[in-house]
Structure 1
C-alpha cells in the first residue's frame, strides 16, 4: 500500500543576479534557507474557531470553513518531536508560544490538506494568519510519528532525501505518476514531479551521499525504483532520525556557548575569519539607549541577525541577508541601555581577496 507523503508547495527558483561565479552561487543555494545558529524557533498551534481554510462546497456554490485546530494528542506528538530534534544538542532550539505574532512556525492540523512545511527561512514571509506547517492525518497512528519528525526537518532547512542527485535513482516515471495519482495521495503530475522525480541542485541537498535511512526519505513501494537494483523492491526507512540526519543537523547548527561570544564594541571593527557556512557571534551591551547601526564589510555574502535577550532567551530583533548582491548588509536598530543583545553573522561565501569584518556604530 502506498504511504501518505509530505507534499511541499511548489515554489519558484530563487532569482540571483546573473554572472555569479559557480562557487559563490553554490554557497548561496546551500545556505539560503538555513537559520542563523543560536536562533530560537518559536512555534504556535492554531487554536481558534476562526482559524481554518475556506473551501468551496461542491455543487452548492457556497463555501465552508475547515479547521486548523488539532487535538491535544496530535499536539503532543509534535511537541515530542521538537524535543527529539532539540535533544541532539543542536544550536537551534524550540519554544512553544501562545501568541502567533511571536512565532516563526505556525502549525495547523487541517485534515485532507496533506502534511507539509515551509523549508527553513522560507517560513519568514508567511503572514501571521497563515500556516507554515500542516499535518493532514492522524499522527498517533502507527508509524506516523515520523511525519512530525520529517516536517520539523524541513523547518530546519532539510530537503527530501530521495531527490538528491547523489542517490543515482532511476525511476519508472509513469509507475510513479500512476502510484501517486491514486489513494491515499491523489496527486497531480506536477505535484508528483516536484516532490519526487525532480532532482535537487547538488548544493541544496542534505549531504554528499544518499541516505535511504533518513527521516527525510519517503517510504517507496516496489516497482517505482529501477536502479539501484537493491531498491526495486521498495525503500523502507525506519521512520527515525538516522546517523546522517543527526550529522547534518549538528553540522549546520553545532552546540553554541553564548558565554564564549566576544563583545562587539561601538566603532571597533571585528574581523571575520569564516569559511562558507561558518558563523561568528558577538555580544553587545550598550552603554546608552539610542539607534545603532550594524554593518558587514568586505566582499562576501552573509546573513546578519540582531537578537535581544528577553527572559534569558534571544528574541529576533532585526536581520538582513545580502546574499548574491553587490552590497553588504546593514541593520539599524534601537538598543536599550542595561539590556543584552547578540549579533550573529553567518557567511555564505567570501568572493573577494580582502578581509571581511563586522562593526557597530
Structure 2
C-alpha cells in the first residue's frame, strides 16, 4: 500500500492567445506561475474558532466543523521548512504575519483533507479567508517533515517531479488507480490522473532531466512502476531538498543584490535589455501624491509588479501579466509622496523587433 500523497486539486490549463509561436508559448508555460524575484511572501496560520470547514455528516442531514488550526509543534515544522528554503540564499523572503489580509500564503491543518498547496502565483486567486496550503496529517510524525518542504516547493512554483515528461516512467495505470482509491488517500480516478499519471508539458517541468531524489517526487511502492526497470521494486526519494531542487530555486530566484535599484523618473522610458526569464528592478520615490501609471512597452511578454515599502520591506501593491496578449502590461495606482515603491519586471520573451522598456507617468 502506498503512503499519503500531496493532493493538488485538478485545474484547467492556462488559456493563452491562439497562434503563438512555439518559442513564445514555451516561455509563457514555463514561467506563468513563478513569482517575480525579490518578492516577500508573507504567510499566516489559521488560528481562530471560526477557521474551519463545514462537512456534511453522511446519513444524518447534519454537518460538523473541522478545524484548520494546527498545533504549535506542527507550526514549528512549517516555520523550519520555510527557513530551510530561505537558507539556500534565494531571492524570495518568507515572513510570518498574524493578519491574514497581509498574507499571500494562508496555511491550515485540516486533518483528512490531504496535504496540498496552490502553485506559485495561483495563491493570489484565493480569497483572504481561504487556505492556499493545507496539511492533512501530523507533520511531527517520523518522515513527515518532507511534506512541508514539498508543499512550500509548490508555493514557489514547482510541480510534481514524477510527472516530468523526461522521467520515462511507465506506470501500471490500473494498479495506480486501485492503490490510490484505498486508504490512506481514497482518491478518485480524476485526482489520481491529475497528480500522478498526467504528464506535464516539457516547458512546465522543474528541469530538463528527471530527478528521482527531488523533494517534489512521490515515493512509490513495489508494483506500480513498470519502467524504468530499476524502480519496479519501488521508488523511495529521501524527503529532503536535492541538488537539483536547490539549483531550480536559485535559477528562478537568484540572490537579490544589495544596491538600491535605479529610479524610474516620470515620463522617462528606460530600456530593459532582458533575456527570457530575466528581471529588472526599479524604485519610484513620488514627488507628489497622485494616480500614477506604470507600463511596459515593446513586443514582449512580461510580468509587471509594484510593491510599496512598509516597515522596511516591500509589500505587494498591484501586478499585471500580459503574457500571450497583444497589449502590454500597465498598472494604475495611487502613489504617496514620501513613500518608496519598487517596480519589478520579469520577461517571458521578446517576440518582435524593437526595444522593450518600462516607464511611469
TM range (shorter): over 0.9
Structure 1 position 88, deviation (Å):
0.5
2:337 and 2:59 map into 1 onto residues whose CA distance is 62
Query: Pairwise CA RMSD of aligned residues?
Result: 0.8
**Unmatched tracts of structure 2, length 5 or more:** none
**What is the aligned residue count?**
361
Residue 176 (structure 1) aligns with:
176
1:68 and 1:75 map into 2 onto residues whose CA distance is 12
1:11-160 counterparts in 2 under 5 A? 11-160=11-160
SS in 2 for 1:114: coil
1:1-361 counterparts in 2 under 5 A? 1-361=1-361
SS in 1 for 2:16: coil
Structure 1 position 161, deviation (Å):
0.2
2:171 and 2:337 map into 1 onto residues whose CA distance is 60
1:185 and 1:297 map into 2 onto residues whose CA distance is 48
1:291 and 1:60 map into 2 onto residues whose CA distance is 56
In the TM superposition, what whole-angstrom CA distance separates every residue of 1:34-90 from its partner, at most 9, and x where no partner exists?
Answer: 001110111110011011111101111111111000010010000000000000010
SS in 1 for 2:319: strand
SS in 1 for 2:106: strand
1:245 and 1:261 map into 2 onto residues whose CA distance is 28
SS in 2 for 1:78: helix
Q: Normalized against structure 2, the TM-score is what?
A: 0.99
Q: Normalized against structure 1, the TM-score is what?
A: 0.99
Structure 1 position 136, deviation (Å):
0.2
Structure 1 position 309, deviation (Å):
0.8
1:186 and 1:225 map into 2 onto residues whose CA distance is 20
2:15 and 2:208 map into 1 onto residues whose CA distance is 25
Structure 1 position 260, deviation (Å):
4.5
Structure 1 position 289, deviation (Å):
1.7
Structure 1 position 258, deviation (Å):
4.6
SS in 1 for 2:154: helix
2:219 and 2:279 map into 1 onto residues whose CA distance is 35
